[in-house]
């Protein structure tokens, strides 16, 4: 436990000294939200049926606020975590840690602790910004929203560790992570609203974990109830990713 605490603290400091990771976790989702909120505003056109359908009956920025909270979660799981783990493996840091008696739960645990801390920090920042600058909704159903957030966070932590376990090099982790991140962002709910996607895009978007994390978070956040089918899909991704992590993790 002492080691986990100390390693987490050191890892947090290392993350803050690494500008690239900070950009994707904090700056990029923030920037995207500003652009989208600036373009679409947050007015509800109550007499336009198509508008109501596309934006789920709320203002565009209301719609995007939970999606961008979810995007912060995804950025850590798809970019920061795998990149850190693959880099450590490639450079022999994991070997070094292992030879010094670091346990696997401490090494992975510290990465996850830092990821969670960063995500919470970034998410609060995004939600506050959307609220303060664009008057976006805060969660309507707080307990369910927090539950959905926790589940989504667990899912992307598991995916991050799994990617870090599978991808052999830092280069591979960076490439794969960025591609997954942008694809999920664009068609998973943080780009155009789901309703305006073409059939093929929606077909691609359906099996993405990000799509369903956005859906389970948007439901209670916008006061539209719990999305059970997406919930089970997110749980399935979490379980599979955790199993892959355990099965394929290598120290070197």
Partner 1 sequence: MAQARVGAGRSGDLIAKRDGWPFPRAPTLPYGTKEMERAVTVEHLRKTYRDIVAVDDVTLGIDTNEIYGIIGPNGSGKTTTVEILQGLRQPDAGAISVLGLDPWTQGEELRRRIGSQLQESALPDRIKVWEALDLFATAAGSHRRDWREAARQGGIYDRRNAAFANLSGGQRQRLFIALALVTDPVLVFLDEMTTGLDPAARRVAWDLIRAVREQGATILLVTHFMDEVEHLCDRVSVFQQGRIVVTDSPSGLVRKHSGGRTVRFSTIERDLGWLSRVPDVESFEMEGDHVVVRGTNAVLAHVGAALVGHGITPPDLRVDMPTLEDVYMGILKDNGA
Q: Which is nearer to partner 1, 53 or 91 (CB)?
A: 91
Q: How far is the CB of 246 from partner 1 (least distance, A)?
A: 17
- Residue 109's CB is within 10 A of a number of other CB atoms, namely 17
CB of 27 to partner 1, least distance (A): 19
| Shortest spacing between CB 84 and partner 1, in angstroms | 9
Q: Which is nearer to partner 1, 40 or 102 (CB)?
A: 102
For tokens 């670091």, name the residue.
Answer: 102
197, 169 contact by CB (below 8 A): no
Report d(CA 241, CA 156) in Å as an integer: 9
Task: Rank residues 91 and 247 by Cβ distance to partner 1 and give the closer one.
Answer: 91
Residues lying near partner 1 in the complex (CB under 8 A): 2-3, 6-7, 10, 13-14, 17-18, 88, 91-93, 95-103, 106, 251-252
Most distant CA atoms of the chain, gap in Å:
66
Rg (CA), the chain: 18
Which of 19/199 has CB closer to partner 1? 19
Element (H, E) at 52: helix 49-54
| DSSP-derived secondary structure letter, 136 | P
Closest contact distance (angstroms) between CB of 120 and partner 1 is: 23
């Amino acid at each position: 436990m002492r080691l986990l605490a100390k390693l987490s603290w050191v890892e947090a400091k290392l993350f803050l000294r690494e500008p690239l990771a900070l950009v994707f976790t904090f700056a990029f989702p923030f920037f995207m939200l500003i652009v989208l909120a600036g373009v679409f505003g947050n007015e509800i056109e109550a007499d336009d049926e198509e508008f109501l359908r596309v934006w789920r009956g709320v203002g565009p920025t209301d719609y995007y606020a939970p999606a961008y909270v979810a995007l912060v979660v995804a950025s850590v799981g798809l970019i920061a975590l795998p990149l850190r783990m693959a880099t450590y493996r490639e450079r022999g840091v994991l070997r070094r840690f292992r030879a010094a008696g670091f346990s696997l739960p401490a090494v992975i645990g510290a990465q996850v602790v830092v990821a969670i801390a960063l995500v919470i920090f970034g998410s609060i920042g995004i939600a506050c910004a959307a609220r303060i600058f664009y008057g976006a909704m805060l969660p309507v159903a707080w307990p369910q929203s927090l539950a959905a957030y926790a589940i989504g966070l667990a899912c992307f932590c598991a995916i991050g560790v799994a990617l870090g376990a599978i991808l052999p090099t830092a280069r591979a982790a960076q490439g794969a992570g960025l591609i997954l991140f942008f694809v999920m962002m664009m068609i998973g709910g943080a780009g155009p609203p789901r309703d305006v996607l073409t059939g093929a895009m929606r077909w691609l978007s359906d099996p993405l974990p990000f799509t369903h994390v956005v859906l389970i978070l948007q439901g209670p956040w916008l006061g539209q109830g719990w999305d059970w089918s997406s919930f089970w899909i997110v749980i399935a991704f979490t379980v599979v990713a955790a199993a892959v992590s355990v099965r394929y993790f290598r120290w070197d």
